[in-house]
Copies of this chain bind each other. A is one copy, B any other.
Amino acid sequence: MDAVAELVESLPAGVVATDPATMDGYRFDWSKDTGAGTPVAVVRAEDAAQVQAAVRWAARHGVPVVPRGAGSGLSGGASAVDGGIVLSLERMRAIEIDADCQVAVVEPGAFNAEVKAASREHGLWYPPDPSSYEICSIGGNVATNAGGLCCVKYGVTTDYVLGLDVVLADGTLVTLGGKRIKDVAGLSLLKLFVGSEGTLGIVTRAILRLVPVPLPPATLVASFGSVVDAARAVVDVRRTLRPSMMELMDQASINAVEDFSPRGLDRTAGALLVVQSDAPGDARVAEIAVVEAACVAAGASEVVVTDDPAEGEMFVEARRMAFPAVEARGALLLEDVGAPVPLLPDLLAAVAAIAVEHAVEIPTVAHAGDGNTHPIIVYDAADPDSERRARLAFDDILRAAIRLGGTITGEHGVGRTKKGALPEQLGEDVMALSRRVKDALDPAGILNPGAVL
Residues in A lying within 8 Å of B, measured CB to CB? 100-102, 123, 144-145, 147, 151, 155-156, 158-159, 168, 172-176, 178-189, 191-192, 194-196, 199-200, 211-212, 235, 238-242, 279-283, 286-287, 338-342, 367, 370-372, 405-414, 418, 422, 425-427, 429-431, 433-434, 436-441, 452-453
CB pair A185–B370 under 8 Å, yes or no, is: no
CB pair B188–A338 under 8 Å, yes or no, is: no
- With A168-B433, A180-B406, A186-B453 given, name 13 new contacts (CB 8 A): A158-B188, A178-B340, A180-B407, A181-B338, A184-B411, A184-B414, A186-B425, A186-B434, A188-B196, A192-B437, A280-B281, A281-B282, A437-B437
Q: How many whole Å from A452's CB to the nearest CB in chain B? A: 7
CB pair A195–B189 under 8 Å, yes or no, is: no
26 interchain pairs, CB-CB under 8 A: A101-B340, A102-B238, A145-B188, A155-B159, A174-B427, A174-B430, A180-B338, A181-B372, A182-B338, A182-B367, A182-B370, A182-B371, A182-B411, A184-B409, A184-B412, A184-B413, A185-B422, A186-B414, A186-B425, A186-B452, A211-B242, A212-B241, A212-B242, A279-B281, A280-B280, A436-B440
Residues of B contacting A174 in the complex (Cβ-Cβ under 8 angstroms): 427, 429-430, 433
CB pair A180–B282 under 8 Å, yes or no, is: no
Q: A414: nearest residue on chain B (CB-CB)?
A: B185
CB pair B372–A158 under 8 Å, yes or no, is: no
Among B100, B175, B199, B338, contact of A183 (Cβ-Cβ < 8 Å): B338
Q: How many whole Å from A194's CB to the nearest CB in chain B? A: 6
Q: How many whole Å from A439's CB to the nearest CB in chain B? A: 7
Residues of B contacting A159 in the complex (Cβ-Cβ under 8 angstroms): 155, 159
Given A187-B438, A188-B145, is A410 in contact with B180 using a C-beta cutoff of 8 Å? yes
Residues of B contacting A339 in the complex (Cβ-Cβ under 8 angstroms): 180
Residues of B contacting A101 in the complex (Cβ-Cβ under 8 angstroms): 340-342
Tallying the copies of this chain within the complex gives 2
Among B102, B145, B405, B431, contact of A184 (Cβ-Cβ < 8 Å): B145
Residues of B contacting A211 in the complex (Cβ-Cβ under 8 angstroms): 242
Given A101-B342, A212-B239, is A184 in contact with B433 using a C-beta cutoff of 8 Å? no
Residues of B contacting A212 in the complex (Cβ-Cβ under 8 angstroms): 239-242
Residues of B contacting A287 in the complex (Cβ-Cβ under 8 angstroms): 280
CA distance A429 to B67 in the complex (A): 22
CB pair A340–B179 under 8 Å, yes or no, is: yes
CA distance A433 to B413 in the complex (A): 24
CA distance A123 to B410 in the complex (A): 27
Q: A421: nearest residue on chain B (CB-CB)?
A: B185
Interface centre among A158, A184, A239, A411 (most CB of B within 10 A): A184
